Amino acid sequence: MQTTRHVRNNKYSVLLLLLFSLFSVFALLPLFAIALASFKPSTELLRFGLNLKVQADLLSFKNYAFIFSGESGYFTWYKNSIIITVVYTALCMIFSSMVGYGLAVYRFKLRNAIFGLVLIVMMVPLEIIMLPMYQMAIKLKMMNTLWGAFVPFIVAPLPIFFFRQYVIGLPKDYLDAGRVDGCTEYGLFFKIMMPLMAPAFSSMIILQALFSWNNFLWPLIVLKSGDKLTLPIGLSTLLTPYGNNYDVLIAGSVLAIVPILIVFIFFQRYFIEGMTAGGVKG
């Protein structure tokens, strides 16, 4: 009986493996098509669009050679995006986790009201608050600065909500033990809770880094000069009424995938665990 059940489980495992392998192939096909298109000339892309047809005589490294030549300012945009993404993600994780931790652990007046405001802000589109944010950026002299592209977002409602939900599900005995040993409230957070919140940090680092890396609308409003542009805005400047450099645009987009792919590979160990736990606790 056990042997029959074991064989049946193996069959199900093989079927699931084949099914998910098939899904993976379909998911990777668009990436393969984009990578292949980055080696093709613009005329070929305008005629046939993205496709999986491999023609060796049309493939070349000219698009990447143009990018690495520095004529387009691509690596300036790349550097700006990396700086903004790294600094924004670090600050967002620190401040948002502290707010979420405070809402989950401490009992004080208006705690539920503050959490309700966080939920309301989550539902408000950026376009509605963009004008007040623009006026604030002018008053604080953050226009055309890299700081202005991310400072309004460093305390984000989604990470606050996520961290609160995650901390609610953690045992509080560690906090009581820390207080008995004389640990300060800041010490409790940085020395005890932050290591326990590692899966939540991994999930939010991936999501918020992706948000910052792909953010287009707000940096487009704040950043003006060419040496301050981020990668999404810089790539959009390649499309003009006088010429559409789709070949260079696609090659630049392929290289733009690399940092986010590295972040995901580095933090994916805890990603599913953090998303699952943060979504059901509380």
Average confidence (pLDDT) over 254-278? 74
User: Token digits for 78?
Assistant: 């790349």
Give the domain 70-280 fold: MetI-like fold (1.10.3720)
Which position has the higher pLDDT, 59 or 101? 101
By percentage, how much of the chain surpasses pLDDT 90?
Answer: 35
Which position has the higher pLDDT, 195 or 12? 195
pLDDT at position 275, please?
55
Q: Is the pLDDT of residue 107 over 60?
A: yes
Average confidence (pLDDT) over 27-37? 87
93 exposure class (CB count in 10 Å sphere: 0-12, 13-18, 19+): buried
Pair type for strands 239-240 and 243-244: antiparallel
